[in-house]
Chain A
Amino acid sequence: MARSVIDVSGLPTYAFGSRVTPWWGTFSFCLLEGTGFALGIGGYLYLAVTNSHWAKDAVPLNLVWSAVFTIVLVASTIPNFLIKRAAMRENLRSVRVLLLAMSSVGLVLVVLRIMEFSVLPVRWSDNAYGSFVWLLLGLHGVHVLTDVADTLVLTVLMFTRHGTGKRFSDAEDNAFYWYFVVLSWLPLYALLYWLPRL
């Protein structure tokens, strides 16, 4: 005969941060995508060391659009932090307003990334340096794009009747992933835009 020793009926049905499974899912995806970025950086540096033509191939990239992109991206951590806080307080009005702001910032970032591509002095087919520049910029661009798409869907969701309860936890999780998008850019920015100038 079974004997009940723990009654879980009083436990919550959702929570925030590392208490819930989606946080760990997002964390695991950050680990594996971070590994992808690290290996991409490793490949770039490997060629920079082994290839005698690299110094000639590695033309410095235009600093203007990338600087604007980086400033906006880093600044976006402020509304991102506020969303996280509002979500944990389950403040629907603030979450809605901030998600609208984050969606707009995200769309601006997508445009800025396109501008970065448009002024690149090398094509992907010119040489291996060009291939790596396009690959790494594109790989990070895909991360920006997917999280912006995710944010847009979440924004719509929070304006429907579904915008309650567990959705706040989803909003917090989305904000957590955005930090990864920001953090993973910083070493890429240094590598792509500043290393060839050293």
Chain B
Amino acid sequence: MSLASEEPHATRDSDLGDEELRARLRKTWGTNGGLIGFLSTVDHKVIGIRYAVTSFAFLLAGGVLALIMRLQLARPDNHLVGAELYNQLFTMHGTTMMFLFGVPVGEAFAIYLVPLMVGTRNIAFPRLNAFSYYVYLFGGLMLWGGFAFSIRPDVGWFSYVPLANLDFTPGKGPDYWAQMITFTEVAALAVSVEIVVTVLKQRAPGMTLDRIPLFVWTMLVHSFIIIFAMPAVMLASSMLIMDRLVTTQFFNADAGGDPLLWQHLFWFFGHPEVYIIFLPGTAFVSAIVATFSRRPVFGYLPMVLSLIAIGFLSFGLWVHHMFVTGLPQVGAAFFTASSMAIAIPNGVQIFCWIATLWDGKPVLKTPLIFVLGFFFIFVTGGLSGVMLASVPIDTQVHDTYFVVAHFHYVLIGGTLFPLVGAVYYWFPKLTGRLMDERLGKWQFALAFIGFNIAFFPMHMLGLLGMPRRVYTYPAEIGWGGLNLLASAGALLFFASFLLMAYNLLVSARKGALAGDNPWDADTLEWATTSPPQPQNFDRIPCLTSGSPLWSRDDDQPVVSGLKVDERELVVTSITEARPDIREESPAPSIWPFVAALATAAAFIGSIYTPWAITWGSPVVALALVAWFWPKTSEENA
């Protein structure tokens, strides 16, 4: 093993003053200019921002689809869009929001923030991180490109068979849908592995398990849920596309298959998916509540245990999406019980946050206001969720607008409100400038009022019997008034996001300067500059408590002895975070981009001929070899 004594020539951080050290590290860890440099970057902050911008673009696109649907439903017997296009719209809306926005936006924040919060210089496997972004981007572009050229899936975001079988849905729409799943799940799985390894092995010395910020704990549990849930939908979508393209018989009841197998596999992923989307929201809430209450979150241990409990229980819920498929009663009873049980750890979290606010001195800035909105909306959605967990009620309102109201309360309340709060909260770290508070409060008012006007009436519509996924309804049935109200609310809600886009654009150029730590927060991302240097930290911090910034005096303890001209970071032990290795972090490389391009070509080609996999695989393999083959400059050990 190579020890320092064998490498006397290397410059180390302890040899340099602060200014020279920063300049040298910037050079070592920076991203090159030009197109090749742009496509080769492995900086987690750059990739994280790309993930965020891309997922927000898909949010906007998915939102526009929702708005068109609301305009169509605003009055009875409307013919703004026909039945066929309406089917395509709700399929693309759900698919975009779940796969191209909901999951990747959580990954975006994890990629940007987790390495900063644990005090390291880059995410683990940074080239895989770059690869995952391009795969996600190409998957999204493929689905929307197909949409633009009239290759449009129209069988709902969960693509149930037999409707999605070739017999009932010829054309390429469901194939594009199924391959998009593969793209986005490959990306999400890769990011999850990176986050798990970053959290377990790259924490700053002294960040023992009980000093990990709740945000990071949440993202760790989130990543594990992805690792165990996403393979189900990848397997299922691959089986679906094989049924459609090479005549396998997995879901064909006439040849020994079973359409319900699709539902089991899909919801084995699909219910944890709800928590995959929701947990980042709780991560934002934990960070924002602590900072704006001016105290650590009440009940650290119950919070962490609740997170882990949610992780396990989220896998015991999937069958509650299938209560009307004629399951044995004992099965239904089990899944009712576990669906109700998961309310307990969620409740523990809510009460811990309330206790934190209660005991603290809440400062009502925009991020916290959005969190307060989250409490109201999410708890409302949780209550209708407890109702739906009961089989008799579920049977009555299955596939009605009651369910639509429920999951929008949970998903928008649980994820989107904290997310907007998170944008206001971390924007100064990304850009060095604060967002406008006055616009923020206006945005909240618009969003909160608009959301409730849009979605509350849907509970009533559902109880009145209005089914999901109908493109219109007759006037005599009497649903017109509530639908018009919902559509007006949807417009207000959409306007709140336009206001946010305006605020983002203006604040990025003219916002008040933020400084390193504008909110006086406690986690490590606020211990560095805004925006952070490519190396994140000039000197790696050492933790002596769980409150690294609030308990800090001027005498910040740090690590020394890392090389300055190579990308070295400290690998630590899992539980106690003792420094163990100086590992070299991979340098920028164009090959992840090339590998993603080749992967995309093979996947898209496979929709038209299975041989695309045969011919594409060696190209992908070559790109991977080039990616992993060591360069001379990297040979230091």
Contact = CB atoms under 8 A, between A and B. Distances in A.
A33 B231 contact: yes
Interface stretch (A50-58, A72-80, A97-105): A50-58
A13 B250 contact: no
B542 A153 contact: no
A157 interface: yes
B355 interface: no
A13 B583 contact: yes
B256 A5 contact: no
Dominant SS among interface residues on chain A? helix
Contacts of A157: 629-630
The interface size bin for chain B is: 35 or more
B557 A3 contact: yes
A7 B3 CA distance: 13
A122 B125 CA distance: 42
A114 interface: no
Contact of A14 (B1, B261, B265): B1
Interface stretch (B207-215, B510-518, B559-567): B559-567
A136 to B, nearest CB: 11
B232 interface: yes
B357 to A, nearest CB: 34
B558 interface: yes
A118 interface: no
Given A6-B579, A11-B579, A128 B249 contact: yes
Contacts of A159: none
Interface in A27-51: 28-29, 31-33, 35-36, 39-40, 43, 46-47, 50-51
Nearest to A12: B1
Contacts of B557: 2-6
Interface stretch (B168-176, B189-197, B429-437): B189-197
Interface stretch (B34-42, B148-156, B198-206, B370-378): B198-206
A32 B250 contact: no
Chain A, interface size: which category?
Answer: 35 or more
B264 interface: yes
Contacts of B1: 12-15
Contact of A7 (B202, B235, B255, B560): B560
Nearest to A11: B582
B590 interface: no
B579 A135 contact: no
A185 interface: no
A8 B250 CA distance: 55
Given A6-B542, A8-B582, A32 B4 contact: no
A24 B125 CA distance: 11
B579 to A, nearest CB: 5
**Listed residue (A2, A4, A53, A167) with the most chain B CB atoms within 10 angstroms of its CB:** A2
Given A13-B2, A13-B583, A25-B193, A153 B256 contact: no
A14 B3 contact: no
Interface of A: 1-15, 19-21, 24-25, 28-29, 31-33, 35-36, 39-40, 43, 46-47, 50-51, 53-54, 57, 124-132, 134-135, 149, 153, 157, 161-162, 164-167
Given A2-B557, A3-B555, A131-B257, 19 more contacts: A3-B556, A4-B560, A6-B557, A7-B560, A8-B561, A9-B582, A13-B2, A13-B568, A13-B636, A14-B637, A15-B1, A15-B581, A32-B192, A32-B228, A32-B230, A39-B235, A43-B235, A43-B264, A124-B242
The 5 closest A-B pairs by CB, nearest first: A9-B561, A165-B637, A128-B257, A131-B248, A128-B256
16 contacts: A2-B539, A2-B557, A2-B558, A3-B557, A6-B205, A9-B582, A11-B579, A14-B581, A14-B583, A15-B1, A24-B124, A50-B258, A125-B249, A128-B249, A135-B242, A161-B635
